[in-house]
Structure 1
Amino acid sequence: MVDKLIKYTHKSNIAIVVLHEIYGVNNFIKDICEKYYQDGYDVFCPELLGSGKVFSYLKAQDAYNFFISNIGFNIYEKVEKLINDLKLKYKHVFVIGYSVGATIAWRCSENSLCDGIICCYGSRIRDYMDVIPKCPVLLVFAKYDSFDVEFVASQLLAKKQNIQIEIADANHGFVDTYSKNYSNIHTQTFNLQQIEFLSKYSS
């Protein structure tokens, strides 16, 4: 299992695993965890960078280099172990990832026991197009990202089942209230999409 884990629990029968970006468990991720907790879910947030390690947005390149050099996307194997352990205790387990966390979540869709996965602007999903999801996956991309979003989305839809894809007319980071790319209107749309997704697969 992942070494460090932040927990927000009140004996729900639904667990949500939140996977953070390259920056670590920052204020944005803490807000996200708190939101799901207030919505009635038990929330588990692995500190993938190590206990308390957080990068500022101004140190994005340093954060990316640290993640690639010290963590890497194979960390999904440890996240899978967490998901499968939680599945022994909870009726439903969902994973919600942001950016690199979304790509890690995407990799977990193939072998873990989760009931559904939400991937928010996981730009590196394009490096793992061979993944075949065994659970429902909601992929939410930002239209203005560092790659051809429309092409990747069309390739995924052509080859996969269990996938719903939404493309927001926004920039990478649009749901992060602390980001310069934050978009309130697109965040509201995303919130409705994820509420519908969670409701559909937890009923």
Structure 2
Amino acid sequence: MAKQRLIILSDLFGGKDPEWVKIYVDLLKSEFEIQYYDVLELAGINADNLVESDVHNQLLSGGIDRAIEALLKLENGKVMVLGFSIGGTIAWKASLQGLKIVCLFAVSSTRLRYETEAPNCSIKLYFGEEDSNRPDSQWFFELNVVHKMIKKENHQLYRTENNAFLVCNDILKFY
């Protein structure tokens, strides 16, 4: 039987093969056919010599839309998605534009707080309790979205092994 396709979308730091992403790949590769995408590459942004705020501004001024467009061209079958920070937001928006997502797992995707419509797929979101940019409880209620607040964690909670185990365990349970 063919493995379910799982796409992983990086955070705004992207990179060819970030060390922290390897933790997720190692935990999930036995069950899934995994495709990793650097969101900066999808967006056509060269981040060499750019500071975080410049990358962020480029993503907000057309980069997110270019990444969605690229993703829609690359993926035309049903997929599960694991997105980190801006990667989760890109997946959410791509789903609303036709990406066939079966289940979306997004970690620290704080820009989702601006979204007013939820994709038609299973969704589980993860946020650090101490991430001041996470959506508020009203947003979760209005969009009827399942989420987990991780105590004593901030925005980059996804870069630690313990949290990677927690997220991967949920993905494997869903599957």
* TM-based fold match above 0.5: yes
Aligned residues: 170
- Deviation of the 1:159 alpha carbon: 3.5
Contact 1:117 1:135 in 2 (8 A): yes
Q: Which residue of 1 aligns with 2:141?
A: 157
Contact 1:142 1:168 in 2 (8 A): yes
Task: Between the two structures, name the one with larger relative contact order (CA 8 Å, sep ≥ 6).
Answer: 2
In structure 2, the gaps of 5 or more residues are none
Q: Which residue of 2 aligns with 1:82?
A: 74
Match of 2:100 among 113, 126, 140: 113
More deviation, 73-82/135-144: 73-82
1:75 and 1:52 map into 2 onto residues whose CA distance is 10
1:157 and 1:135 map into 2 onto residues whose CA distance is 17
Question: Match for 1:61: what amino acid?
Answer: S
Q: Which residue of 2 aligns with 1:41?
A: 32
TM-score (norm 2): 0.78
1:191 and 1:37 map into 2 onto residues whose CA distance is 7
- Deviation of the 1:144 alpha carbon: 1.4
Aligned residues with identical type, % of pairs? 19
Residues 50-89 of structure 1: pairs in structure 2 closer than 5 A: 50=41, 53=46, 59-69=51-61, 71-73=63-65, 75-83=67-75, 85-87=76-78
In structure 1, the gaps of 5 or more residues are 1-10, 88-92, 177-181
Question: Match for 2:171: what amino acid?
Answer: Q
Residues 1-203 of structure 1: pairs in structure 2 closer than 5 A: 12-25=2-15, 26-28=17-19, 30-32=21-23, 34-35=25-26, 38-50=29-41, 53=46, 59-69=51-61, 71-73=63-65, 75-83=67-75, 85-87=76-78, 93-110=79-96, 111-128=98-115, 130-147=116-133, 149=135, 151=136, 153-160=137-144, 163-169=145-151, 170-176=153-159, 182=160, 184-197=161-174, 199=175
- Deviation of the 1:17 alpha carbon: 1.0
- Deviation of the 1:19 alpha carbon: 0.8
Q: In structure 2, the residue corresponding to 1:104 is in which secondary structure?
A: helix
* RMSD of equivalent CA atoms: 3.0
